[in-house]
Each structure stands twice: as structure tokens, then as C-alpha cells.
Structure 1
Amino acid sequence: MAGVMLQGTGSDVGKSVLVAGLCRALSNRGLSVLPFKPQNMSNNAAVTVDGGEIGRAQALQALGARAPLHTDMNPVLLKPQADRTSQLIVHGKVRGTLGSGNFREGRRSLLGEVLSSWKRLSERCDMVLVEGAGSPAEINLRSGDIANMGFARAAHVPVVLVGDIDRGGVIASLVGTRAVLEAQDAAMIRGFIVNKFRGDPALFADGYAAIEERTGWRGFGLVPWLSTVADLPSEDAVILEKRPMRGEGRTLIACPMLPRIANFDDLDPLRAEEGVDVAMIPPGTPIPPEAALIVLPGSKATRADMDFVRQQGWDIDILAHHRRGGRVLGICAGFQMLGRTIADPDGIEGLPGETPGLGLLDHATVLGPRKALRQVRGTALGEGFSGYEMHMGETHGASLAHPFAMLDADRPDGALSRDGRVMGTYCHGLLAAGPLRRALLERIGVASPGADHDARVDAALDALAQGLEAHLDIDALIALAREKTA
């Protein structure tokens, strides 16, 4: 079982992107490689060919590896739906919830299933690249861990620790991680990578040597800040707060930042368009009246986020936008919010009850235990697309007589108002299709070349792989993956 695991000194140090780039680099070398993350916590998910869901980071890594998505790539997915509760997905299917009271014991009981997925993947390829979660330095979470050292030791997988120099303190974070780990955990770490370096590498030579000396680990490379990463989808919602608008004179598309926003990479193809600015509207900020299009995104807790929309006064902004002739697109939970009501009689996402929607479309949604998970193809606005459905609840009402899309030739999806200004769909990923995106943007006065967004991402993965080949000792990483640990 050949494999190596990238763990980090903290969240957002670049583990996901490095694994994606290494998957593409190894694939380009002719190796059969697959990604793996034992446990992920994210509301960004993708639908697999075997009818389940995994984190979107693993979907990107699978694209890097040129491999079809499979639930074994991310056997445990936690989707936060309240401050102390997460929906538990095991092997792609919902298996209840984990809360603060049963979190550790719940995780510990899943180690066997994680190892089963690891074994199946290992038997299918030359090498598995594993991504950790958070940081092993969070020793308060070590008991019951299946995401970092708990998995590495159980599966006998060597670890390479990633530090982020851009945020500062990389020497202390790497050396400090070594200092707080118990001896058997520290022994699993065989080296380190310093990520996101800006400037002359020679200026960090002494720092690099100091890390090697103080930890006893070898360095596998100093990775520069690679601009191509901006063309890749991001897993963490925190990145939304870091993306500025690109300037004046472009048509504005606005998206409110819901507390439990999900699958926000649906917006990435719009961000790549030269003719628009996509503004993520933070809490406490009104939706700008000059927006030509408002996108209501997916959510892991539709009723709670609909309440939040009202608390922020965004419902007033959206309705005023519509009265002025503006357009609104609701995706998944956003589509549900466009209707008259969202009911949760069984308490699937929180306390049982019913919440009024925006009333821009004539339909009602009832949440239930069955989760729709499927890859789809269809047509909308006269153009073809592919995407996926991932939602709980069924929607019924008069507005569905005018569907937004037709899926798999004869299955209606979503709703389109008679004047064409309010659009709702259950399909994620459809804006990656260039012709459909061009048709949508034409409706708000923006000329688009209709570029293939998936091709853009694929080219970015090739560029990332080229950068990693130049700055990492990939031969040494391959040799490490083929070693057997104690």
C-alpha cells in the first residue's frame, strides 16, 4: 500500500491544493494515483459516480488524478448545520448527526470504515495521496482522531507536514508542532514542505535549515506563491472574505454570505468572467441596488439561513431589486427560499417548524429524510449543461409548471417566472457550461465568450503540477510513499 499523507500546521495552509497538484504531477508521470481524505468537514460537496457525496476538495483532487469520483476518497464527511451539530455522511450517505456531546466517540467508531476505504483505494492504484484535516498540533482533539495521526498510525502511512509562510511564523509553527506531539505521533512525520513563499528563496535558506535542524525532519521543498491557484475552486468559505471585487465599470452580481453557505464554488465560473464583478455581501451590509443579478446560493440549513436573510434586511433588498426589474437566481436552497414556505416537520435541519420564503415563485418545500444525490445533464435557457443534484426536501407548486431546466431529456427541474427574471434550480455546477453562462449573462447585458470553465480548471491543474515539479522533490516523495512504516 503506497501512500503519503500531507498534514498541516493549521487550516488553510494549502494541503488541499498541494494534493491536487501532486495528483496531476504523478498522473502526468504515468502513475495511477488517487486522493484520500479520511475525514472532511465542509458544506462544499460533490456527487460521485456511485451515487454518494464527498468533499469538493477531493473532487478537485480526483480531477487532478484524472480519476472518477468515488465515495472511498472521503469516507467521512461532516457538514455543519448548526453551531454544535454536523450532519454525518459515511461512505457517501447520511448517517445521522454528530454534536459536541458525541463527537469524539462518534469519530472513533468510524476508524474501521475509514481503513476499509483506504484499503480499497490502495488496491486500485500505484499510490494514494492523503490529506489531513486541520492540524495534528490540536492535541486536545487527539483522542478518537481519525483525520490526522489517528489514521496515519493505524494505516502506517508516512506524513509530510505543510507550513504556510505567507501567514508568518512558519518556523515556529513547524518546530512547535514537533514539540507538542507525543513521540509516536512525531515519529510518523518524515519531512516538511514550506508553502506560499513570496520573494527570493535564498532569503529563507537559513530558516529552512533551522527547521531541519530543530525538528530532525528533511525538507521536501519551498513552494512559491503560485498565481494559478486562483483559478482553482476553494474548499473553505473563509476564502470568500478574502476575494476583493475587481474594480469599477463592470456589471455587478451580488450573493449574500449565508452563515451556512454550501457549494459556493457554483459562483466560480462567474468570477472568471471579465465583464462582471461578483460581490459576496457580508452580514451588516445591504445588497447594492446597482446589482444586475442576485444569486441565492446553497445552504446546509435552509430555514435558519432564510431567517438570517430577514434579520439582515436582505429580503427587503431582494424584493426591491425585483421590483426595479432586476433578476434573481436561486440554486438549491436558494431555489427553496424563492418560494412561499419552507417546512421541516421532522426537524431534519433543526427545530421542527415552517418558515416563510421570499414569495417570488409560487411553490412550497417540505424537508424530509431522503436526500437526492445524482449527476445530471440537461438544458436551460436554450443551452446544454451538466451538473449534480444534492438536496433534501421536495418542492411542489404552480411555479413548477414553468421549469427552469429539463434534465435527462424529460425530467423538469426548478422554475422560471413568466417574465424570465426569477430563476430557480436544484442543479449545482451548471454555470460551468460556457454557452449556458453566456445566455444568462446576456440577460443582464454582459457579453461573454462562453469559455469552458472546466477546461480552465484543468489547465490550472497542469500549471500547478508544473510548478510543484520545479519546487518539490517529487522523486523523494514517491520513494517515501513506497516505504513501510512501523
Structure 2
Amino acid sequence: MVQGTTSDAGKTTVVAALCRLLRRDGVSVAPFKPQNMALNSAVTADGGEIGRAQALQAQAAGIAAHTDMNPVLLKPSSDTGAQVIIHGKVRAEMNARDYHQYKTVAMAAVLESHARLLEQYDAVIVEGAGSPAEINLRDRDIANMGFAEAVDCPVVLVADIDRGGVFAHLVGTLSCLSESERARIVGFVINRFRGDIKLLEPGLDWLEQQTGKPVLAVLPYLHGLLLDAEDAVQPAQQQRGTFRVVVPSLPRMSNHTDFDALRAHPDVDLQFIRAGHAMPPADLVILPGSKNTRADLAWLREQGWPQYLVRHLRYGGKVIGICGGFQMLGNVVRDPHGVEGTPGESAGLGLLDMETQMLQQKHLQQVSGSCLFAEAPVTGYEIHMGVSSGPALEHPAFMIDGRHEGARSADDQVLGTYLHGVFDAPGANAALLKWAGLDTRQVVDLDALREASLERIADATRPLLDALTALR
């Protein structure tokens, strides 16, 4: 099991790298994360929903993603509540206190999935969540040491040296653990190191003397990786191109991995605009997915986005809405059952003549088809609770599995779709950008870029696998 001293220490990347290395070595391997809290998710081959990071790790292992790889997924809908997904299906909306009581049920699902994976694969690489040093979460823990103790699993502890204070992170984490938990840790990994390793060696010697634990590997800082983020929006890169794409950074934005292909495009300058920041002129504005569409609509209004969009369209700009962003483009969003929050309805942005009603059953599906505004194939996946209807749907954007999907405005300036990953296929990427005003010969193959990144992290992580093999 790979645990970390903090969130974003590199657990996801280390697990993906180990999965790729074992696959290279002819070992059948599967990733596993008992509990994930993330708004980036993926649809599996068995029709369920798991964390996006586990889908990436499954790709590294060369197998199809399955709900057993992430049996418990929490998708926050507010600061105190989350949608609880068990074995790929929505179980309930719970506040933090109720979920704490529910953890015994969740642990049963976790152990069931882990046992199934052990029966099918030679190796299972487990990823922890956050940090095992979060004392307030230790009772009934299913994500870190609680799971490791339950299945008697050895643990590797990862720390990010690029944050600073790496030795304090490691020693401090150990001090927060019980004696049996400390004994379970077989060694440390120091991640994202750049510089002269000779200057680090005195610190490594001190750490081993203080803790009695070996440093199994020091992994380098790798620039230019393109890997699916588990949750946090990655920092903005330097401006790449002249075609400006602007995305409001919604408080409950989901599946911002939809924009990875645009971030990698050499002709595109993609900017996420946070609360309180000025909205720059743009060629294309994309409203992303949302875990709480009505609350994020209210946020857009507070920030002045409706007025910005009217001005943007007046000057010939284009707008795309994806999933929750698509719903926002309509006339009204109704949530009579309180699926995403307080029951009620909210006026939409009125840019597409349609309305949306939230349902209690989530729609989950992998899809493929073609664009109706260009000769290009499209692939993607649907994850949504609502159903949209209205005249705007009579002018669809795609033909998906034999049915019309999405909508375009009469003046063809506004396009909406429920498809996540709509920019991932090279043909659809080029077609959508051309529709928005960028006619370029540059082609971005997101899957090829992801594969290249997986190979790079695997190469860099070989010393860790060698050290773990020697321990056995």
C-alpha cells in the first residue's frame, strides 16, 4: 500500500508507475483505492463510477477499469455533504457525521472488492487517501491504516520534497501513528526531487537513523507530464498559443480533466478563472461540469458571468457547456427532490431554449459516435443526474450510439453536450476548435501523451520496485 504524508504527495503517480512496471515484467496487477474523495470520475466497463485516478492506474496496468478498483467514492456537493457511491452506484447523499457512522458498511464493501481483486490478479497495489496522520479520521478509518491493518498490508510512505519540510513530514507522520502502524511502514519514498543528490544524502542518513526505516527511493521531478488529476486543478502553464479558451473555476467543478487535451494543445491558451479574478477577452468560453449545478449557477451570477457571456457573444465569441455547464445554458434547472442540495429551481442563463430536471437516478455510460457539424468521430462518457428537454435539442451537436445528443443555438454560437471527454479524440478536438474559430493543422492525441507520461514515470520508479522486491 502506498500512503502519503499529505494530499498530492504523489501516491497516485507512484501506484500508476508500479502498475506499469509490473505489467512490463509480466505480472498481472490491479490498482485499488478503498475510499476516494474526488469530483473527477470515470465510467467503468461494468457501468459504474470510480475515481478518475483509478481509471488511469488501470490503463497503466493494461486492464479495463472496474468498480472494484475504487469501491467507495465520495463526491462533495457542499462543504459538509457528499454523494456516497458504493461499487459504482449512488447509495445516498450524506453529511460528514452520517457518513462517519456509515463507514462500517463502507468497509464491508471495501474488503469485498479487495478480496475479489486478490483472486483475479497476482498483485494489487493499494493507494491511500490524504494522510494517515489525520487523527480526527482514525476512528473507523477505511482509507489508510485502518484498511492496512484489516488486511495485514505493508505500507510505503511517500513525501513530496518540492513542498519543503520533507523530513518533518515523514517524522511527524510516524509520530502520529500507533506502534503497530509504524511497524507496518517498510520504508519511505521522497518524491519530486530536483538538484544534487549528494546534498540530500546527509538528510537521508539522519532520517534512517531517527526512524529505523530505509529510504527506498528518491524519485525525480518530471516536467511536462500529462496524467489525469485526481481532483485539484493543476496550476496554469505559461501561455502556449494565441487562441484563448476561458473556463470559470466553479466551486463544485467536476471532471476538469475534460480540458487536458486543450491544455496540451500548442495553439491554445487555456485559463481557469477563479472567484474575484477579472474575466479576460476570449475566443471560446467553456462552462464545465458541476456537482451542484444550481449552486454553481448562483456563483456565476455573483461573479458577473452572465453579463460577460452576453458581451462575449455580441462580439462573435463561442460558448460550450459540458454536462452541468450544458444544463446552465438552458432556461431553468429544477431539482424537486433535492438531489444536489436544497429542493427548488433556478433560472438558467437562457442561451439555449431548454430546461433541465434533476432525477434521483444517475445516468452512467461510455459512448461513441460522430459530430453533426463536421466529419469527425467522437468518444466520451456520460455522468449526470438530470434530463434536459426543449426546442434546442432539435438542433443536436452529435450522433451518439444511434441517437441525437446535445444542442446548438440557431446562430451556432452556443453548443451544449452531456459528454465528458469530448475533446479527447483527436478528430473531435480539431472539429470543436474549428467550430469555435481555430483552424489549425496541429493534432493532439491525448491517449498517446498519457501513455508517454506513464512510460516516463515507470522508468523513473524502477529503483523503488527493485527496492521493494529486495525486501521480499
Structures share fold, TM-score greater than 0.5 = yes
Partner of 2:390: 397
Higher mean Cα deviation, 78-87 or 312-321? 312-321
Asked if 1:266 corresponds to 2:258, the answer is yes
Give TM-score scaled by structure 2 length: 0.97
Residue pair 2:320, 2:326 contacting (<8 A) in 1 also: yes
Partner of 1:35: 31
How far residue 385 of structure 1 moved from its aligned partner, in angstroms, is: 1.6
Amino acid aligned to 2:272: M
Asked if 1:52 corresponds to 2:48, the answer is yes
Residue pair 2:246, 2:285 contacting (<8 A) in 1 also: yes
Partner of 1:227: 223
How far residue 446 of structure 1 moved from its aligned partner, in angstroms, is: 4.1
Partner of 1:288: 280
Partner of 2:368: 377
Partner of 1:244: 237
- Name the CA distance, whole Å, in 1 between partners of 2:222 and 2:148: 29
Three-state SS of the structure 1 residue aligned to 2:23 is: helix
Residue pair 2:267, 2:442 contacting (<8 A) in 1 also: no
Asked if 1:131 corresponds to 2:127, the answer is yes
Q: Deviations over 1:415-474 (max 9, x none)?
A: 0122321110001112111111111222313414223211111111112111212xx231
- Name the CA distance, whole Å, in 2 between partners of 1:387 and 1:278: 21
Cα distance change of structure 1 residues 451 and 11 upon mapping to structure 2, 3 Å threshold: same
Asked if 1:70 corresponds to 2:60, the answer is no
Asked if 1:449 corresponds to 2:437, the answer is no
Residue pair 1:275, 1:446 contacting (<8 A) in 2 also: no
**Map 1:138-177 → 2, pairs under 5 A:** 138-177=134-173
Partner of 1:120: 116
Residue pair 2:11, 2:158 contacting (<8 A) in 1 also: yes
Could you tell me which runs of 5 or more consecutive residues in structure 2 were left unpaired when the two chains were aligned. Answer: none
- Name the CA distance, whole Å, in 2 between partners of 1:302 and 1:245: 30
Three-state SS of the structure 2 residue aligned to 1:145 is: coil
- Name the CA distance, whole Å, in 2 between partners of 1:74 and 1:406: 31
Partner of 2:77: 81
How far residue 103 of structure 1 moved from its aligned partner, in angstroms, is: 2.9
- Name the CA distance, whole Å, in 1 between partners of 2:329 and 2:238: 26
Asked if 1:303 corresponds to 2:299, the answer is no
Cα distance change of structure 1 residues 271 and 422 upon mapping to structure 2, 3 Å threshold: same
Partner of 1:368: 359
Three-state SS of the structure 2 residue aligned to 1:196 is: strand
Residue pair 2:40, 2:229 contacting (<8 A) in 1 also: no
Amino acid aligned to 1:257: S
Cα distance change of structure 1 residues 379 and 132 upon mapping to structure 2, 3 Å threshold: same
Residue pair 2:37, 2:76 contacting (<8 A) in 1 also: yes
Residue pair 2:19, 2:60 contacting (<8 A) in 1 also: yes
Residue pair 1:7, 1:133 contacting (<8 A) in 2 also: yes
How far residue 228 of structure 1 moved from its aligned partner, in angstroms, is: 4.3
Q: Deviations over 1:312-367 (max 9, x none)?
A: 00111112111211100101001000110000001111111111111110100000
- Name the CA distance, whole Å, in 1 between partners of 2:175 and 2:4: 15
Amino acid aligned to 1:203: L
User: Percent identity over the alignment?
Assistant: 50
Residue pair 1:273, 1:448 contacting (<8 A) in 2 also: no
Three-state SS of the structure 2 residue aligned to 1:473 is: helix
Residue pair 2:266, 2:442 contacting (<8 A) in 1 also: no
Give TM-score scaled by structure 1 length: 0.94
- Name the CA distance, whole Å, in 1 between partners of 2:165 and 2:119: 39
Q: State the aligned residue count.
A: 469
Asked if 1:325 corresponds to 2:316, the answer is yes
Q: Deviations over 1:120-142 (max 9, x none)?
A: 01111110111000001111210
Amino acid aligned to 1:423: L
- Name the CA distance, whole Å, in 1 between partners of 2:83 and 2:441: 38
- Name the CA distance, whole Å, in 2 between partners of 1:478 and 1:379: 47
**Map 1:204-215 → 2, pairs under 5 A:** 204-215=200-211
Amino acid aligned to 2:454: L
Residue pair 2:287, 2:320 contacting (<8 A) in 1 also: yes
Could you tell me which runs of 5 or more consecutive residues in structure 1 were left unpaired when the two chains were aligned. Answer: none
Amino acid aligned to 1:461: L
- Name the CA distance, whole Å, in 2 between partners of 1:448 and 1:478: 47
Three-state SS of the structure 1 residue aligned to 2:423 is: helix
- Name the CA distance, whole Å, in 2 between partners of 1:216 and 1:103: 37
Amino acid aligned to 2:449: R
Q: Deviations over 1:15-69 (max 9, x none)?
A: 1111111111111111111100000000100000010000001011111111101
Partner of 2:104: 108
How far residue 286 of structure 1 moved from its aligned partner, in angstroms, is: 3.2
- Name the CA distance, whole Å, in 2 between partners of 1:419 and 1:450: 27
Partner of 2:22: 26
Partner of 1:11: 7
Residue pair 2:261, 2:444 contacting (<8 A) in 1 also: no
- Name the CA distance, whole Å, in 2 between partners of 1:420 and 1:462: 41
Partner of 1:349: 340
Asked if 1:416 corresponds to 2:408, the answer is yes
- Name the CA distance, whole Å, in 2 between partners of 1:30 and 1:475: 15
Three-state SS of the structure 2 residue aligned to 1:205 is: helix
* CA RMSD after TM alignment: 1.3
- Name the CA distance, whole Å, in 2 between partners of 1:97 and 1:467: 41
- Name the CA distance, whole Å, in 1 between partners of 2:32 and 2:389: 38
Partner of 1:426: 418
Partner of 2:270: 278
How far residue 479 of structure 1 moved from its aligned partner, in angstroms, is: 5.6
- Name the CA distance, whole Å, in 1 between partners of 2:460 and 2:441: 30
Higher mean Cα deviation, 417-426 or 74-83? 417-426
- Name the CA distance, whole Å, in 2 between partners of 1:259 and 1:448: 35
